[in-house]
Amino acid sequence: MIDEFWLIQDKLDLAMAIGVPLRLLTYVIYVKGVDSYYHTFSIPKKDGSLTTTLTRIVNM
């Protein structure tokens, strides 16, 4: 898998390496944006400070 990483030259190579259609990869990168697939929230810790957590939104 690591060896394949160095062979990636373009979007098509990346899509093939991660197993997604090129059309979906292009949509996520340029139209939807990766930030829209995650929800950020804070959880209080015992000492009163907050820790920020990201969770993936399941529906693409």
Pick from 50, 49, 32: nearest CA to 41: 50
Query: Is the pLDDT confidence value at 42 over 80?
Result: yes
Q: How confident is the model at residue 12, as a pLDDT?
A: 94
pLDDT at 2: 67
3 state SS of 50: strand
Within a 10 A sphere around the Cβ of 47, how many other Cβ atoms? 5
User: Mean pLDDT over residues 33-42, rounded?
Assistant: 82
